[in-house]
Amino acid sequence: MDPLTTLHRREFLKTSTGLLTGLVAAGSSLALLAPGRAWAVDLTALSSAEAATLLVVARTIAPHDKLDDAAYALVIQAVDGDASKDDKTRQMIREGVASLGAGFPGSPESERVEALKKMEASGFFQSMRLKTLQVLYSNPIAYAYFGYEGEAFSKGGYLFRGFNDLRWLPEVPLADSGALPA
C-alpha cells in the first residue's frame, strides 16, 4: 500500500477555514506573514504582528521545515481563540510576545531557541508549547506530511490495508500469532 496518505490540497481547502484558504491560496506562505492580509481578517484577539511572532514561536518549538505554514497557522488560530475567550490569556500572550522583542521573528534559529529556553518555565511558553503539540499534529496537513492515515473504521480497518505489510523482518510463526480471520 502507498506509504503516504496522499491528500489533495484542493480537497483540503474545501474543508478548511477562511484563514487557511487565504494563506494557502495566495501562494508563498512567508510573504503572507505581512500584517494586514490573511491574518487581519481572521484574528479576533491578537494583532497581526503578534500572530506573526507566534507563528515563528510555534515553528521554533516544532521545527518541521517542509511542513506548510498553514499547519502552524492552525496553532495560531487556536491561540487567538483562547485569547479571545479570556483576558488573562490574552494578557499572557501579549506580554510573552512583547518580551521576545521585535527582532525575534527575524533572528536565526539558534538565537530563537536561546530566547525561548530562557522563558521555558513561563506560562506563556508552556501554553504555546502545549498548544503547538495539541494542534500542529492533529490536522489533515500534518496527517499527510507525517504519513499518518488516521481512522480506519470507515475503510474497513487496516486488516486488508497494510497492518501486516512489513517485509524487512521475518514473518512471525502462526503458533505465536494467528491466521487472518476468514
Partner 1 sequence: MARIDLHDEGAVVIIGSGAGGGTLAHELTRRGIPVVLLEAGKRQSTATFSQVPGEAFQQLTWLDTRTQSGSWGVARDFPGLPSWHCKTAGGTTVHWTASTPRLEPWELRAKSTYGHVPGTSLIDWPISYPELKNYYLLAERRLGVTRRNGVPGLPASNNFKVMYAGAKKLGYKRVHTGHMAINSRSRDGRGFCIQQGFCVQGCKMGAKWSTLYTEIPSAEATGKLDLRIECRAMRIEHGANGRVNAVVYRDSQGQEQRQKARLVCVAGNGIETPRLLLLSESAKFPQGLANSSDQVGRNYCHQIVGYVWGIFDQPVYSWRGATVAGVVEDEVFNDPKRGFVGGYRIELVALDLPTMPQVGLPYGWGRDFASIMEEYRNIAGLLINGEDMPRAENRITLNPEVKDAFGLPAANVHVDEHPNDQALRKHAQGQMSKMYAALGAKRIFPGPSLPATHNTCSARMSAEPRDGVTNGWGQTHDIPNLFISDGSMMSTPGSANPTLTIVALVLRQAEYISRQMAAGKI
Residues 125, 46: Cα–Cα separation, whole Å: 16
Smallest gap, in angstroms, from Cβ of residue 169 to partner 1?
5
Query: Which residue from 30, 31, 121, 179 is in contact with partner 1, where contact means CB under 8 A?
Result: 179
The verdict on 93 binding partner 1 (CB under 8 A) reads no
Helical ranges in the chain per DSSP H: 9-15, 18-25, 38-42, 48-61, 69-85, 87-100, 109-118, 123-136, 140-146
Closest C-alpha to 75, from 27, 136, 123, 30? 136
Q: Are 46 and 80 in contact (CB under 8 A)?
A: yes
The verdict on 181 binding partner 1 (CB under 8 A) reads yes
Q: Are 60 and 110 in contact (CB under 8 A)?
A: no
The verdict on 44 binding partner 1 (CB under 8 A) reads no
The verdict on 153 binding partner 1 (CB under 8 A) reads yes
The verdict on 137 binding partner 1 (CB under 8 A) reads yes
Smallest gap, in angstroms, from Cβ of residue 32 to partner 1?
22
The verdict on 178 binding partner 1 (CB under 8 A) reads yes
- Near partner 1 in 54-83, by CB under 8 A: 60-64
The verdict on 121 binding partner 1 (CB under 8 A) reads no
